[in-house]
Amino acid sequence: MSGHSKWSTIKHKKGAADAKRGKIFTKLIKEITVAARMGGSGDINTNPRLRTAVLAAKAENMPKDNIERAIKKGTGELEGVNYEESTYEGYGPGGAAIFLESLTDNKNRAVADIRHIFNKRGGNLGENGCVAWMFDKKGYINIEKKAVEEDALMETAIDAGAEDVREDGENFEVITAPEDFEAVKEAIDNASIPYLEAEVTMLPQTVTNLEGKEAEQMIRLMEALDDCEDVQKVYTNADIPEDIVNSMN
C-alpha cells in the first residue's frame, strides 16, 4: 500500500469507518461548528471551509437536521461548545511521521491524552514543526481502476484543474491544489465516476516503509489516536503492506 494513500485509505480497507459511524458524526459536527464560527457565516456559498465540511457530512449520510444544528451552534443561533484548534506531531514505530489535527474544549486534556496514546503504543509526541514539513495540503480523490478508463479520468480531472492523476495498485489517485478540489470533484461527479474517498488532506512527500511487528504497532497507534475524542484527523507517511492491513481486519 502506498504511503500516499494515507491513514484514511487504511481505515477504508479495514472497514473501520462503518463500525465507528457515531464517532465520525461527532467529528464532522465539530468541524461544521468551528467552520461556521471561524468563517463568520453559516452560508456555504460564502464560507469555503464550511462548504467542504458540509459536503463531507453529506458523503457520510449525516441527516440534514444534524448539519443545520451544527451550523447554528457555530453562528451562535444555538448554544454550543467553544472548540479550540491545534495540531500535534510525532513519530510512530519505525520512525514513521504522524501529523494530527485536534478540535477540543479542553486543550490540557487533549495533549495529555494524545501524549499517553503515543507513549503506550510505541510512539513519541514531538515538538511542533518536527514532521509538518514532510506533508503537503492537497485535494485527494481515490478511484478504483475498474470504475473508469484512465484516459477518461485523466481528461475529466486535468481539464477541471487537477495537478496529477496517478496509479496506486488497483486505484487511481487524483491530486489537486486545495482551492481546486471542489471544481475537480464536481467534474468527476458530473461524469458519474464513483470514488472511494474525496477530501482535502495532508499527503506525505516521502514514505517510511514498515514491516512485521512495527507495521502492526503503527496501525494500533493510529487507531488509538483516531479514537481519541479530541483528535479530528490523523495523517502518516507510513507505507504498510496490504497483507498486514488485511490480517488485522
Enclosing H/E stretch for 225? helix 212-227
Residues 144 and 190 in one domain: yes
Query: What pLDDT, on the 0 to 100 scale, is given for residue 124?
Result: 96
Q: How far is CA 74 from CA 54, 127, 233, in A?
A: 13, 30, 20
CATH number, domain containing residue 164? 3.30.70.980
Answer with the one of 53, 75, 97 that is the final residue of a domain.
Answer: 75
- The reported pLDDT for the residue numbered 170 is 84
User: Do 103 and 144 fall within a single domain?
Assistant: no
Q: How many domains does the chain have?
A: 3
Which of 75, 95, 119 marks a domain boundary?
Answer: 75
Instruction: Please indicate, yes or no, whether residues 120 and 92 belong to a single structural domain of this protein.
Output: yes
Residue 19's pLDDT is 53
**141/201 Cα distance (integer angstroms):** 10
Mention every residue, 6+ apart, whose C-beta is less than 8 A from residue 190. Answer: none
Asked whether residue 126 falls in the same domain as residue 241, the answer is: yes
Same domain, 225 and 188: no
Residues 125 and 145 in one domain: no
> Do 227 and 119 belong to one domain?
yes
Q: Which three cell numbers stand for residue 191?
A: 461524469
Instruction: Tell me the residue range of the domain where 21 lies.
Output: 3-75
pLDDT in the model for residue 15: 58
The whole-number pLDDT of residue 106 equals 94
118 and 231 fall within a common domain = yes
- HSE on the CB side for 12, CA within 13 Å? 14
201 with 3: CB under 8 angstroms?
Answer: no
Residue 136 has phi, psi (to 5 degrees) of -120, 135
- State the pLDDT at residue 20: 65
Distance of CA 226 to the CA centre of its chain: 10
How confident is the model at residue 60, as a pLDDT? Answer: 84
Considering the domain architecture, whether residues 150 and 165 belong to the same structural domain is answered as yes
Cβ–Cβ under 8 Å, residues 228 and 113: yes
Grid coordinates given for 244: 498486514
Q: What is the pTM of this model?
A: 0.85
**What CATH number corresponds to the domain at position 62?**
1.10.10.200
What would the grid cell of residue 25 be? 458524526
pLDDT of residue 3: 42
pLDDT less than 50: residues of the chain: 1-5
198: CB partners within 8 A, 6+ apart: 59, 139, 140, 141, 142, 181, 185, 188
- Whether residues 124 and 7 share a domain: the answer is no
86-133 tens-digit pLDDT: 999 999 999 999 999 999 999 999 999 999 999 999 999 999 999 999
Same-domain check for residues 116 and 213: yes
Pairing, β 208-209 against β 238-239: parallel
Same domain, 123 and 172: no
